Amino acid sequence: MSETEWKKLIEEIMNCRKCPLHKTRRNPVPGDGNPQADIMFVGEAPGEREDIMGKPFVGAAGKFLDHLLDMVGLKRSQVYITNIVKCRPPGNRDPREEEIEACIPYLWRQIRLIKPKMIVALGRHAARTLYSRAGLKWTNMTRNHGRVVEAVLEGNRVLLAVTYHPAAALYNPKLRSTLEEDFKKIFREYNERLRGLTTSSKRSPNLLDFFRKS
């Protein structure tokens, strides 16, 4: 990863005025965690706490995400967390199509620099945007939550996983255990398909090729 390129990208986001969201934001939220990480999480857009702090997932949904990360043995410092749209939509409305279009090149550049081994889409906006970029057909979350597929994103072979948005579990408590089970399944698969490989590369040479970074 080029540190210069990364710094330049974050600066651009911090000064961005490419869509109307720049007028109402308090702080842009480029992302948080380790840009050298193997695992990336992509949410939807910053909420009020995130807008105030300039960091993703620091409000109520963020607390639940921390719990989910903890459950699978991950710290924030071991992953990179960002969103489809980097500035808060007023009143937490959904980001508009033209706002996503203006902002999404930043996510593609983040992926090109980070070269993650797995990307976890949190919620349907992130899921359909990432599926579409990878040329995969997105149907709906009911069918696809917990699923891990092989994909190519920004010239990079990755595992693409999807689950519900952690905020959904705050409105619908039944989704808490669904999200917990999805996280367990996703990271079990991640470990099987990836970490296992590095210790016994003979078992699955094709998959090793699959993850060789260019």
Piece of 9-17, 54-62, 179-187, 201-209 that binds ligand SF4 (CB under 6 A): 9-17
21 makes contact, choosing from ligand URA, ligand SF4, none, with CB < 5 to 8 Å by partner type, with ligand SF4
Q: Does 107 participate in binding ligand SF4 (rule CB under 6 A)?
A: no
Retrieve residue 54's tokens. Answer: 């300039």
Q: Does 74 participate in binding ligand SF4 (rule CB under 6 A)?
A: no
Indicate which single residue of 68, 85, 111, 118 sits in contact with ligand SF4 (rule: CB under 6 A).
85
Indicate which single residue of 25, 37, 41, 44 sits in contact with ligand URA (rule: CB under 6 A).
44
Indicate which single residue of 35, 46, 95, 116 sits in contact with ligand URA (rule: CB under 6 A).
46
Using CA atoms, how far residue 5 sits from 15, 32, 99, 211, in Å, is: 15, 17, 24, 23
Helix (H, G, I), strand (E, B) or coil at 96: coil
Residue-level length of the chain: 214
Give the amino acid at 69.
L
Retrieve residue 13's tokens. Answer: 């986001």
Indicate which single residue of 83, 110, 129, 144 sits in contact with ligand URA (rule: CB under 6 A).
83
167 makes contact, choosing from ligand SF4, ligand URA, none, with CB < 5 to 8 Å by partner type, with ligand URA
Q: How many CA atoms lie within 13 A of 116 on its CB side?
A: 30
- Residue 87 or 197 with smaller CB distance to ligand URA: 87
Q: Residue 43: beta bridge partners?
A: 83
List Cβ neighbours of 121 (8 Å cut-off, separation of 6 or more): 42, 127, 129, 130, 131, 160, 161, 162, 163
Indicate which single residue of 56, 89, 95, 146 sits in contact with ligand URA (rule: CB under 6 A).
56
Report, in Å, the least distance between residue 65 CB and ligand SF4.
21
Alpha helices in the chain (DSSP H): 3-14, 21-24, 48-53, 60-71, 97-114, 124-133, 141-144, 168-171, 174-190, 196-199, 205-211
Residues that bind ligand URA (CB under 6 A): 43-47, 50, 56-57, 61-62, 83, 167
Residues that bind ligand SF4 (CB under 6 A): 13, 16-19, 21-22, 28, 85-87, 99, 102-103
